[in-house]
Structure 1
Amino acid sequence: MVTATERKVNLSFEAKNKAQDGFVASTASRVLFSGAFGAGKTIALLTKALRLSQEYPKNFGYICRKVRATIELSTLKTFFDLVCPRELIAHYNKDKFFVTLINGSQLLFGGLDDPLKLGSLGAGGIGFAAIDEAIETNEDDWRMLEGRLRLPGVPHQIFAATNPGPPSHYLYVMFFKNELGEVYQASSFDNPALPDDYLERLNEFEGVYKDRYVLGLWKGLEGLVYSSFNDDVCLIPRFEIDKSWPVYTAHDFGSVNPAALFYAGNPGTGDFYAFAEYLPGIEMGHHDHVESFKTICEGRTVLKRVGGNHQETGERAAYTSEGWPITEPKHSLDKALQ
């Protein structure tokens, strides 16, 4: 145990990018570090927390993730291994994840999964709240923490580090649309310390995964199925599809707004081409739909027809009885497709 409160320990932090530097130095009441994989978000978050604890003796900070069980081997381990010099620690309670520094400041590591405990956090309130992986949280979590920022004699800040998510997330609305705090952003390429092979692997990401986790952009929709669709690559000038190419059809059932897509596969290259779509726009019976499908595929060989979710067995049977057998999709039980 270190008890020498007069000992002076200088913190050494070398920012890897401008976002890290700006985030750590910010004095705004709300601050967000939005970054891709490997952008140095967690280290910046913990460095900021430690500086506030050092600069204001007897400060009290709460460092958290959404679920307490996830913090020990992630955020807390990073704090001890890469951020906080051992000489600064007077005492550490392993059961409560409670750190007391030699200047009297205290840092409690925890979760946001017990609102009742959060309500009694810090008898006199807290000086700052730091949220790691904030994309996992909701606005209620954020407001609950803001309501605890009242410790006397210290600046009050709530700050967070996160990967980007969809623009519908409360963090995007709060910081980007409503501009209720400072935002610092970084991509994976903004960290020169990352290994080349790691960056090469990340560069293979596509679609919304590359936008969010490599470029650090708030893009895409939750539950997006075709995340790699790119107009420049996937849309080509029309050409006559060889009638010898096999056809595959996909169906979305519904009495008012049914739909179908028709794909032809090139046996030579393995490429598939969507050559027709079916959107009648009016209410029709199964027989009339099937007659339209047959007209679209006239002179072609249809190898497979799929459609509906697991509960729509009756719809598939109705089309089958009209001479258009449709099978259940392989992933019809996936929640995103229900």
Structure 2
Amino acid sequence: MNPMPDTVRFEARGAVRELFRSTDTEVLLSGAAGTGKSVGALMYVHLQCLDNPKTRALIVRKTHASLTSSTLVSFREKVAREAIDAGLLHFFGGSAQEPASYRYANGSVIVVGGLDRPTKLLSTEFDLVLVDEAIEVTAEDLDTIVSRLRNGVLPLQRLIMCTNPGPPSHHLKLRADSGRCRILYSRHEDNPRLYQNGEWTEYGNAYLARLDSLTGPRYQRLRWGKWVSAEGVIYDEWQDVVHLVDRFAIPDAWQRYISIDFGFTNPMVIQWWAQDGDGRLYLYREIYKTRTLAEDHAKQVKRIIGETGEPHPVAVVCDHDAEDRATFEKHSGLFTTPAKKTVSPGIQAVQTRIRPAGDGRPRLFILRDSVVDRDQDLIDAGKPTSTVDEINGYVWAVKPGAAGGLKEQPLKQDDHGMDAMRYMVAAVDLVGVARVQSPARRVPGVSAAASRYARPVAGGAGR
């Protein structure tokens, strides 16, 4: 155990400094990517717990998986490391009665978790709640959280939210505009790792160069922290709060599909889809990765299907590259079908699925946390790391001088998940992939070409 210094040194700048000084009950820290807003807010919660015995705080994101893979790593390594080493707090992994938490020697507690597992999290009262990546949560989530701010140990019961900006119509921006919460804008100059003594650091220059390579709304949001809409957005009826759903156990009876957009320098995207009895499609697993060979992707797909024991796909719909298709078939044991790639009909088919059907529900959903593992190179470059990341920035190309200024084709940038999704919808709605055929399986000892005509293994979808 290492001794804890009498003083915790932390340089609060800009929006984070104002967070420490202000007395607003609801604060939204909004800013460009990498401005230090999450670390600053985590430090605020940590210091309140150190200074005020028996404080109860909650650190939460929309899903448990996203919290543990990012926010809690920052808390553990960048905020609370000295205190943990000194024995002033320790992690409790949770039990049947209590959620996971950081427990302080002075009796303070920080409960941690995701809103996809809300029962134990929100069954008690808090003095402070920090919602990281708040743009992911619903207005109803926030209202529920606010109702739990009544522990009474701290004189100021407080909700703190951190986010990168989105469209100006988002409920967070409307919440701030209505005066319900105070919005504090953070800048890259607020992050000491990027900016020191009036100059950009070496890391800061490199980081900003990556953000400067972005275009469109992602550039405005992640580089400059602006709440802007995507001009000419193609899937304008997409709503994260409607189409992005919590993970659930998919019944074995639902037909499974895989759609693929090949890539290497650009991401290769492999999407797993399930279709329910009413024909709705659910994207439930995704590989979205650069600089990986088709052979290695194929082996990973084969391994995942084997380890999960889920039904084999009815069809594998993919880009037309003959060499990549042959490689994928050889190493995955799955047959492939070339996608219907006509762009305009495919986009219209996806648009139809995204808008509400006769029963008021759309016919296409994506499960949260579907990506198998995030591509760090894409994260560092400020690029999309999943199909969901692409949707709101998928726009029509601009044609100068044309009527309306927009082409009939989408902008060919950050669209790899969009292509794979279009292939999937076109296969079902425009081509009519059979929903009752036996799964395509490689027959041992039969060549790739000949095995296309081999009789499937008895037993239908099977395991």
Q: In which range does the TM-score fall when normalised by the shorter chain?
A: 0.5 to 0.7
* Structure 1 gap segments, 5+ residues each: 228-249, 254-271, 279-304, 308-329
Instruction: Give 1:54's aligned residue.
Output: 50
What is the deviation of 1:114? 2.9
Q: Are 1:24 and 1:44, in contact at CA under 8 Å, matched by a contact in 2?
A: no
Identity %: 30
Matches within 5 A, 1:199-238: 199-221=208-230, 224-225=233-234
Do residues 45 (structure 1) and 41 (structure 2) align? yes
Instruction: Give 1:11's aligned residue.
Output: 8
What is the deviation of 1:223? 8.1
Matches within 5 A, 1:118-157: 118-120=121-123, 122=124, 125-154=125-154, 155-157=156-158
SS of alignment partner, residue 13 of structure 1 = coil
Q: Are 1:89 and 1:99, in contact at CA under 8 Å, matched by a contact in 2?
A: no
Q: Deviations over 1:296-325 (max 9, x none)?
A: xxxxxxxxx979xxxxxxxxxxxxxxxxxx
Matches within 5 A, 1:94-173: 94-95=93-94, 96-120=99-123, 122=124, 125-154=125-154, 155-173=156-174
What is the deviation of 1:187? 3.2
Instruction: Give 2:90's aligned residue.
Output: 91
Q: Using the alignment, how far apart are the partners of 2:165 and 2:408 within structure 1? A: 35
What is the deviation of 1:192? 5.0
Q: Deviations over 1:175-226 (max 9, x none)?
A: 1x20222221123355352211111111111121111111001001498249
SS of alignment partner, residue 99 of structure 1 = strand
Q: Are 2:57 and 2:126, in contact at CA under 8 Å, matched by a contact in 1?
A: yes
TM-score, length of structure 1 as denominator length: 0.63
Q: Using the alignment, how far apart are the partners of 1:209 and 1:157 within structure 2? A: 30
Change (3 A) 1:192 1:46: closer
SS of alignment partner, residue 224 of structure 2 = coil
Q: Using the alignment, how far apart are the partners of 2:235 and 2:140 within structure 1? A: 31
Q: Using the alignment, how far apart are the partners of 1:334 and 1:27 within structure 2? A: 51
Do residues 24 (structure 1) and 20 (structure 2) align? yes
Q: Using the alignment, how far apart are the partners of 1:76 and 1:332 within structure 2? A: 32
Q: What letter matches 1:55 in structure 2?
A: D
Q: Using the alignment, how far apart are the partners of 1:39 and 1:336 within structure 2? A: 38
SS of alignment partner, residue 38 of structure 1 = coil
Change (3 A) 1:153 1:210: same
Change (3 A) 1:204 1:153: same
Q: Using the alignment, how far apart are the partners of 1:88 and 1:25 within structure 2? A: 29
Change (3 A) 1:64 1:332: closer
* Structure 2 gap segments, 5+ residues each: 195-202, 237-343, 349-397, 410-418, 430-463
Q: What letter matches 1:200 in structure 2?
A: A
Instruction: Give 1:197's aligned residue.
Output: 206
Q: Are 1:223 and 1:336, in contact at CA under 8 Å, matched by a contact in 2?
A: no
The alignment's C-alpha RMSD in Å is 3.7
TM-score, length of structure 2 as denominator length: 0.47
Q: Using the alignment, how far apart are the partners of 1:210 and 1:306 within structure 2? A: 23
SS of alignment partner, residue 71 of structure 1 = helix
SS of alignment partner, residue 44 of structure 1 = helix
Q: Deviations over 1:253-282 (max 9, x none)?
A: 9xxxxxxxxxxxxxxxxxx9566549xxxx
Q: Using the alignment, how far apart are the partners of 2:206 and 2:115 within structure 1? A: 36
SS of alignment partner, residue 35 of structure 2 = coil
Q: Using the alignment, how far apart are the partners of 1:206 and 1:189 within structure 2? A: 21
Q: Using the alignment, how far apart are the partners of 1:71 and 1:276 within structure 2? A: 46
What is the deviation of 1:135? 0.7
Instruction: Give 2:70's aligned residue.
Output: 74
Q: Using the alignment, how far apart are the partners of 1:144 and 1:180 within structure 2? A: 15
Q: Using the alignment, how far apart are the partners of 2:130 and 2:232 within structure 1? A: 28
Matches within 5 A, 1:305-324: none
How many pairs were matched up? 244
